[in-house]
Amino acid sequence: SKQAIPADKISDAIDRALKTVRTRIEGFGVSESVVQKVGNDRISVEIPGYDDPQRAENLVRQQAFLQFLITDKTHALDKVLARFDQILRQQGKAVAVAAPAPTPGKPVAGQAPATGTGLQNLLTGADTAKGKGQVAAANRDTTSIDSLGAKTGGPFETYITAGGMDGQYFVPFSAVPTIETALQLPAIKDAIPPGKTVLWGTDSAQIGAQWYRALYVTDAKPIITGASINDARPSQSPTDGTVVEFTLNNEGGRRFRTETAKNIGNYMAIVLDDRVMGTPPVIQSAIGTRGQITMGGKDLSAAQDLALVLRAGALPVPLKVAEAVVIGPRLGKDSINKGFHAGIVALILIVLIMTVYYRFSGMLAVCGLAIYVLYTLAALAGFDAVLTMPGLAGLVLSIGIAVDANVLVFERMREELDRGKTVRTAIDEGFRHAMPAIVDSNVSTILTASVLYQWGSGPVRGFAVTLIAGVVASMVAAIFVVRTFFLLWLNRSRGAQTLSI
């Protein structure tokens, strides 16, 4: 998954990465975000109103390259450990080998160790949870934990200890940097047996005061990749805790079923960005289009993020964060104040115009307009929308639509009163005749805004969300709320003969 990209294809790769990042951000539930290309090799992401920058950064830069790999059952790594150490000696990269110092506590912050399983059980092959039984680890050239550090070989032979399943090994956490650095050497990579790859796992285990990290050897060719995933959703499992359940497309499902049928009884590693997720399960039968990824003790938010990036697809190129800036609310305080003052002035003008021109009926319309504003703000809060400039524009436009609906009703009521109709009849006829025009215009606006939301991005979608919420609220306010106010007034006035309009 990590290959050099020719210079002439970098721009195209960034364009594809831009689409993936935009899909992730929009699926994150953040409105009015701005994702755009800067130059030929940079992407700018702006997320207004979001207060967890680290989570957002992880969401953007995670490559999310998913693979399903069969673990090695030929013990290929056992046969080349001495060769690895010989390469280190030949290159003058000898490492002082000593028994690793105990590392109390969790090995890595936020990383859950293996629960209820000591390293000794893993080394002897206990796998009762998967029904595999005892693995024939006795035939392997394994290293005893008690003698670890007593050997005089290099770091590979000293620190790497075979686990209890095919392709599984363990390394003391204090020795992980040494082994990890050595595995990156070109000569070591070339010495890895053909068709195999060495990957670190996310699971860990403890014996005594010492923590160990899992290392896996798998086939290099995946059964399938994340490109075959059709959908992914976070979930809670009573046995595995937080998981991500995924569904494959038809082609991926057929291939997955065929390959897993060939490997019944073997272990399958689920690899995300070159890290084995949890302990590889045993393939007990052919698997179709559904499966799950165990999150290894991580919380539901981590599962939500993983499901999101899997749905959006893998990044075609790894992204590195060049700069991350958190802008506080003080920077836009002046604009906020000006916008607030402008809004107050506009509302005062609307109240004055409606009251002066339509008198008492205008006052009822102003009360309905207040209810409309509350409905709109409640809807935006439910969508977690942020009122940026495009959003404010949508809100202002929807206020105009709400006022226009009242104007249509009131003008029709005036016509009915001029014809000599009673107040009750004029009110009923005014709403009945104005309703088709109100519904037609508002539905047309909603359809247009829906197109903007579906095909637009960033500020355009924010404008569309605010406009849709405002238009729906304006219809409710004009058709039901204001009419209710009129009926309440009629009941209290006991059949008024005149209407101030």
Of the pLDDT bands very low, low, confident and very high (cuts 50, 70, 90), residue 126 is very low
| 81-107 core/surface letters (b: 16 or more CB in 10 A; e: else) | beebbebbeeeeeebebeebeeeeeeb
Tens-place pLDDT, residues 137-180: 333 333 333 333 334 468 899 999 898 889 999 999 999 999 99
- Looking at residues 260-272, what average pLDDT do you find? 91
- pLDDT value, residue 386: 65
Gyration radius from the chain CA atoms: 33
Least confident of 92-101, 104-113, 114-123, 261-270: 114-123
245: left (phi over 0), alpha (psi -120 to 50) or beta: beta
- Looking at residues 189-218, what average pLDDT do you find? 90
Tens-place pLDDT, residues 467-498: 888 888 888 888 888 888 888 888 887 766 77
Asked if 68 and 173 count as a contact pair (C-beta separation under 8 A), the reply is: no
DSSP letter for each residue of 374-399: HHHHHHHHHTT----HHHHHHHHHHH
What are the φ/ψ torsions at residue 221 (nearest 5 degrees)? -90, 125
Structural domains of the chain sorted by starting position, each given as residue range(s) with its CATH number in brackets: 1-62+315-327 (3.30.70.3400), 332-493 (1.20.1640.10)
Tens-place pLDDT, residues 301-336: 888 888 888 888 777 777 888 877 776 655 456 666
421 or 495, which is more confident: 421
Q: Give helix then strand counts, H and E, for the chain.
A: 14, 12
394 or 105, which is more confident: 394
